[in-house]
Structure 1
Amino acid sequence: MKTSQFHVPLDLVRNNPNEKIHSIESSRFKEYGRILHDFDATELVSLADRVTTIPEQDTTYETYLPALEETSLMEELKLYYGGQDIQIGYCNGKNQCINGMEYHKSPELFIAVTDCLQFLTPFSAMQDYDSVDTTKAELFYFPKGSVTIVDANVLHFAPCAVSNNGFKSIIVLPRGTNEPLEEKMKAVLKRSNDPESRLLINNNKWLIAHPEREKLIKQGVHAGLRGPNRRVIPVS
């Protein structure tokens, strides 16, 4: 991608005067991950744009999609996970708020199928596996076609839409991530005294929610986000 494509659009900046929106080419992003400048995701982006849709409300996340995994790039993507088995899924929607913060104990390869935004927060901002102040999150602009690795343990959640039409993105993670926990693991969790264990929701997925995100609270997710449920105003 050309460097100019990484610049944050001025209309997005004007729509969000109270938010500092960083380019992923800024030095701030190095605290959370890196851009894979030499990875050509054109094939995957085009395919995902054709075979996935944006829901009318909220977000849709699929851990893997066979059509995406049949790509010739599958083996190349495994390189970033040391050759271990991976899954290629997607997250599409019209989200505009933080709503929650999750983390994985593995990196996440993120490909922007459309322009989108993400709130990223350092793991060090979490207090005793209990709470995180939403003001600690930094907001980044991911232009269409950008390929990034978000480091393990970085707090993040669903992207936010730049356009009122919504966003599309590809998510690459180790195979099994975000899948339901096995019954044996659920039993281990029930008797665990580790304070982090209450945040484990699915395989390789630890999650806390903002109190306003009632859907997650009803699912038993710990309401640990403190402060405003920061919101992004998309451009028309």
Structure 2
Amino acid sequence: MPRDTLTRDRIVRTAVELLDAEGLEGLNMRALGKRLDSAATAMYWHVKSKDNLVLLATDQVWGELALPDPAAAGWRAAVAAMAADLYGMFTRHPWLVQAFAAHIVYGEGKARHDDHHLAVYEAAGFTEAQADQAAAAVFTYVLGNAAGAAAAASHGRRLAREGGKADEQLHEAMAKAQEIAMGYPRLRARLDTPAAADYAAGPGDAFEFGLQALLDGLERRVRERDGAPEPG
């Protein structure tokens, strides 16, 4: 593909596809050029560097997020919807978790989302300082929960590259982890029951439970500040 037929938008969209498939470790200009049928050097005319490309790709997917109106849904429902949407984005694009560990992430899409997130809290009566703290707490909670999905995706890519060897290592590690857990009464009680599979496979329920507990705490702080009685 001649250089003048490339556009930054096309490069960034293709980079997102590559990142979704291969993770942050799989992004390089040669692999990207191959997908675009172009020389790797041609990418630099549009995106300057690999680090800049990661930022552009991050901002591209940040545009997927919705901005619910707290006046229509209520601040708590709006925050819950934004948190669920953010978690969905991280699990669709697990390389984003890697990006936060390796880059200072910024851009128009993220700024748009962050500004609205703060506005939701302020509309509910949070002070600026409280809104900052609440937004940081919810974002950190979502990012921490998404780390498991990112790790699973990374491991899945390694399994695909290494085949049976990595699969054997996984089973061996799981067996050792279970053997250790059986030495602790509460872990053993959860593993040695018919519900053990449910215990290990309920991240969605755990995410919602933790999110609602976090929102309970934020709501209580606002009520205490305003002197309002607890509901019910």
TM-score (norm 1): 0.22
**Which structure is higher in helix share?**
2
- Quick check: which has more Rg, 1 or 2? 2
Q: Say which structure, 1 or 2, has more relative contact order (CA 8 Å, 6+ apart).
A: 1
Structure 2 length-normalised TM: 0.22
